[in-house]
A and B are shown apart, each in its own frame.
Chain A
Amino acid sequence: MRRRTPSAVIAALLLLAMSATPMLAWTQLRNNYPDNPQSCNGQPPNFCYRWPKTANNLSTTQYVYLDDSLANANLNLKPDVRNAMDKWNDLPARNPFMIETSSEGSADVIVDRGSASALCGNAFAWACTGHVANGNLMYTFAEVHFSSSVDWNHTLFYDTDEADSRKVATHEFGHVEALGHTGMTAVMKQGDVQFHIIKANDIDGIQAIYGAYP
Chain B
Amino acid sequence: MRFRNVAVIAAAVALTLVVTFQVFASGGPKGDANETERWPACVTIMLDGDGPEVTSEVLAESGAATAVVTVSEVGAATWTTPDGKRPTFDEYRTSHPQIVRPISVDVEDALVGNFERGRTTWALLGGDVGCDSMVGSSWLEPKAGRYVVVGVPSLDKAHGELLLTNMWPVSGDTVQAEFGDISLNQLRADLETANR
Query: What residues make up the interface of A, taking CB atoms closer than 8 Å to B?
Result: 30-32, 49, 106, 108, 110, 115-135, 140-141, 143, 158-160, 168, 171-172, 175, 180-181, 190-192
In the bound complex, residues from chain B placing their C-beta under 8 Å from that of A32 are: 137-138
Cβ contact within 8 Å between B48 and A175: yes
Cβ contact within 8 Å between B44 and A120: no
Residues 25-46 of B, flagged 1 when their CB comes within 8 A of A and 0 if not, give 0000010001001111111111
Cβ contact within 8 Å between A141 and B39: yes
Cβ contact within 8 Å between B45 and A130: yes
B129 at the interface (CB under 8 A from A): no
Assuming the contacts A123-B64, A135-B42, asked whether A129 and B96 have C-beta atoms less than 8 A apart, the reply is no
Assuming the contacts A106-B34, A125-B50, asked whether A133 and B43 have C-beta atoms less than 8 A apart, the reply is yes
Query: What residues make up the interface of B, taking CB atoms closer than 8 Å to A?
Result: 30, 34, 37-54, 58, 61-62, 64, 89, 92-93, 96, 98, 125-126, 131, 135-139, 150-155, 163-166
Cβ contact within 8 Å between B136 and A31: yes
Cβ contact within 8 Å between B126 and A121: yes
In the bound complex, residues from chain A placing their C-beta under 8 Å from that of B48 are: 30-31, 120, 128-130, 175, 180-181
In the bound complex, residues from chain A placing their C-beta under 8 Å from that of B37 are: 140
Q: A30 to B138, alpha carbons, bound, how many Å?
A: 10
Q: A117 to B52, alpha carbons, bound, how many Å?
A: 12
Cβ contact within 8 Å between B39 and A31: no
Chain A: CB-nearest residue to B45: A132
Q: A180 to B154, alpha carbons, bound, how many Å?
A: 26
Q: A160 to B52, alpha carbons, bound, how many Å?
A: 6
Q: A129 to B153, alpha carbons, bound, how many Å?
A: 20
Chain B: CB-nearest residue to A133: B44
Among candidates A106, A117, A121, residue contacting B139 with C-beta atoms closer than 8 Å:
A121
Tell me the interface secondary structure of chain B in the complex: mixed
Q: A31 to B44, alpha carbons, bound, how many Å?
A: 12
Cβ contact within 8 Å between B39 and A118: no
Among candidates B38, B62, B89, B164, residue contacting A124 with C-beta atoms closer than 8 Å:
B62
Cβ contact within 8 Å between B46 and A133: yes
In the bound complex, residues from chain B placing their C-beta under 8 Å from that of A132 are: 38-39, 43-45, 92
Among candidates A49, A122, A140, A158, residue contacting B49 with C-beta atoms closer than 8 Å:
A122
Chain A: CB-nearest residue to B124: A121
Distance (whole angstroms) from the CB of B130 to the closest CB of chain A: 12
Q: A132 to B44, alpha carbons, bound, how many Å?
A: 6
Cβ contact within 8 Å between B52 and A119: no
In the bound complex, residues from chain A placing their C-beta under 8 Å from that of B163 are: 118, 121
Q: A26 to B53, alpha carbons, bound, how many Å?
A: 19
Q: A181 to B39, alpha carbons, bound, how many Å?
A: 26
Distance (whole angstroms) from the CB of A127 to the closest CB of chain B: 5
Cβ contact within 8 Å between A49 and B47: no
In the bound complex, residues from chain B placing their C-beta under 8 Å from that of A129 are: 47-48, 50
In the bound complex, residues from chain B placing their C-beta under 8 Å from that of A192 are: 52-53
Assuming the contacts A134-B40, A135-B131, A168-B50, asked whether A106 and B30 have C-beta atoms less than 8 A apart, the reply is yes
Cβ contact within 8 Å between A190 and B40: no
Chain A: CB-nearest residue to B54: A124
Cβ contact within 8 Å between B45 and A131: yes
In the bound complex, residues from chain A placing their C-beta under 8 Å from that of B131 are: 135
Among candidates B34, B50, B96, B150, residue contacting A171 with C-beta atoms closer than 8 Å:
B50
Distance (whole angstroms) from the CB of B33 to the closest CB of chain A: 11
Cβ contact within 8 Å between A117 and B49: yes
Distance (whole angstroms) from the CB of A195 to the closest CB of chain B: 13
Distance (whole angstroms) from the CB of A140 to the closest CB of chain B: 5
Cβ contact within 8 Å between B62 and A172: no
Chain B: CB-nearest residue to A131: B46
